[in-house]
Amino acid sequence: MANKDKIQYLLNLLVDAVSLLVSVVAAWLVTDKVLHVLLDYTLQDWNQFILILVLSFVVVFALFNGSSGLTRRGWKSELLLCVQNTILLGALLAVCLLMTKATLLESRYLYVGILTANAVCLYLSHTALKTYLNKYFYKGSLATLVGIITTSDRAPALIHDLKHDWDKKLQGVVLLDESKPGGKVDGVPVAAVYDTALEWIRHEPLDEVYVNVPYQSGDSLRPLLNEMESMGLCVHLNLTVLEPYTSAARQSGEWFPKLQTTVETAGGVPFVTISTGEHDFGAMILKRLMDIVGALVGLVISVPIIAVTAIPLKLESPGPLFFRQKRVGLNGRTFYICKLRSMYMDAEQRKKDLMAQNKMQGLMFKMDDDPRITKVGKFIRRTSIDELPQFWNILKGDMSLVGTRPPTLDEYEQYDSHHKRRLSMKPGLTGLWQVSGRSNIQNFEEVVKLDVAYIDNWSLGLDIRILVKTIGVVFRRTGAE
């Protein structure tokens, strides 16, 4: 974790803890001193309640704090996060109080008062913290002092981005293509040019230096880079080989994945490793645990439902009860998905004759009034009963409760490179596409965008929200065919 992230995380933890403390005190004052509805609890009762509250707070903060995006969130997103975290805190607190049979469970006024005050205090404290970080932190002694080495055409964009990084204080810019220092670029003084760059860097207090130059300028900067390395400075060096991709994506407005890069050396040569954003290992373990628990509960619930459904299904269409089909999962791995059979036995053979009626634009197949689907099959599809056996796939680890739709082999063989991006997480029983009105989305590229958005913005909180929405979709029977 970078120094900036550590500071932001700790400050976020501090203001959230203070917000909760203020909420507890405020709720106690209102319920006891104003409304006079708080019972006379013992010190042991209070100690038990406070311990449970603190543990609940720590768990919720560790999983859903959102500290990494604190300064970039708008007021609506901030309000939603504060309400979400308060609801999660309240749910976990209630469960723990019930399990421990805590005496303070009886005080509903105190419980509601703490949660209400906490939502308000969280929002106000987060807003104050963002204001402080964006407007004042860079003026303090903990700010990172930054220098820039670049050319006149590259300076404005780089300075603009760095000025919006709250922990950085820009000390000056070196313009390699200018003849003498002086003037300013977006408020940052031009402190040196090529001939005077080394002298300025030696005498200026700097923590980091950003070097953003075109390829042809790289060799001439080697002596300067060596000097900065010997000074112990942190140097950020641009990679021109990657610029055509990012700049083209920005100019055209096309989708471009978030990239996480690392550098390693092999054979005496530096290599830049480009990969999609990695997810927190601990959070992924919790996701797998949630999958196991959810799959076990789902299988227990599914057995009687499948038993009842099996009778009319078998009577209408003789053949196996379950349908196994080879699908493509995580990063191209194949597995057999298990579903209740909703089609006649010759469905796959008849598919070729029906391709002309495909209403999807792209690689997926879907048509209105598909003649291959049985009458019982239409019912179990509308109610998503046909998906219940997939809890077995989830328990085995081939799938997750929430993820992306696993493609068939023939779909996968037609994929372009960017389509495979949607397979960089395990496929799921439900997902962002499924709760976004999947029957109304008729363009495969839109499906890919939703899947990639889920992967890039994944969190346990997002999974929980999708699961809750899925329940509503199933009961309303919307978005399914």
Domain annotation for the chain: domains and CATH numbers: 3-135 (no CATH), 143-238 (3.40.50.720), 281-476 (no CATH)
If residue 251 lies in a helix (H) or strand (E), which one and from where to where?
helix 243-252
Confidence of residue 248 (pLDDT cuts 50, 70, 90): very low
* pLDDT per residue as tens digits for the range 351-408: 666 665 555 555 555 656 666 777 777 787 777 788 889 999 999 999 999 998 898 8
**Cα gap 122→85, rounded to integer Å:** 9
Please give the C-alpha separations between residue 451 and each of 239, 432, 433, in angstroms, as whole numbers: 29, 7, 7
Average pLDDT for residues 212-241, to the nearest whole number? 76
Q: What is the pLDDT of residue 217?
A: 56
- Higher-pLDDT residue of 199 and 276 is 199
Backbone φ, ψ for residue 427 (5° rounding): -65, 160
Residues 6+ apart with CB under 8 A from 247: none
Average pLDDT for residues 298-316, to the nearest whole number? 86
Confidence of residue 238 (pLDDT cuts 50, 70, 90): confident
- Pick from 211, 228, 209: nearest CA to 145: 209
User: Could you tell me if 365 and 355 are in contact, meaning their C-beta atoms sit under 8 angstroms apart?
Assistant: yes
Residues 6+ apart with CB under 8 A from 389: 302, 306, 322, 338, 339, 340
Q: Strand 259-266 to strand 269-276: parallel, antiparallel, or no bridges (unpaired)?
A: antiparallel
Hey, CA dihedral for 380, 385, 389, 394, is it positive or negative? Answer: positive
Give the side-chain half-sphere CA count within 13 A for 57: 23
* pLDDT per residue as tens digits for the range 2-26: 567 788 888 999 999 999 999 999 9
Average pLDDT for residues 193-206, to the nearest whole number? 89
Residue recorded with tokens 């036995």: 345
* DSSP per residue, 132-194: HHHHTGGGSTTSEEEEEEE-TTTHHHHHHHHHTSTTEEEEEEEETT-SS--SEETTEEEEEET
**Cα gap 467→435, rounded to integer Å:** 9
Amino acid of residue 311: I
**Cα gap 271→200, rounded to integer Å:** 31
Has residue 219 got a pLDDT over 70? Answer: no
Confidence of residue 140 (pLDDT cuts 50, 70, 90): confident
**Cα gap 257→79, rounded to integer Å:** 27
- Higher-pLDDT residue of 222 and 417 is 222
Has residue 479 got a pLDDT over 70? Answer: no
**Cα gap 38→32, rounded to integer Å:** 5
DSSP 53: H
Average pLDDT for residues 205-216, to the nearest whole number? 83
Q: Strand 208-212 to strand 144-150: parallel, antiparallel, or no bridges (unpaired)?
A: parallel
Residue recorded with tokens 């075109």: 214
Average pLDDT for residues 113-139, to the nearest whole number? 89
Average pLDDT for residues 76-86, to the nearest whole number? 91
User: Could you tell me if 89 and 56 are in contact, meaning their C-beta atoms sit under 8 angstroms apart?
Assistant: yes
Q: What is the pLDDT of residue 2?
A: 57
Angle between helices 281-316 and 375-382 (to 10 degrees): 150
**Cα gap 432→464, rounded to integer Å:** 11
Average pLDDT for residues 474-478, to the nearest whole number? 66
Has residue 329 got a pLDDT over 50? Answer: yes
User: Could you tell me if 362 and 369 are in contact, meaning their C-beta atoms sit under 8 angstroms apart?
Assistant: no
Q: What is the mean pLDDT of the chain?
A: 81
Q: What is the pLDDT of residue 425?
A: 85
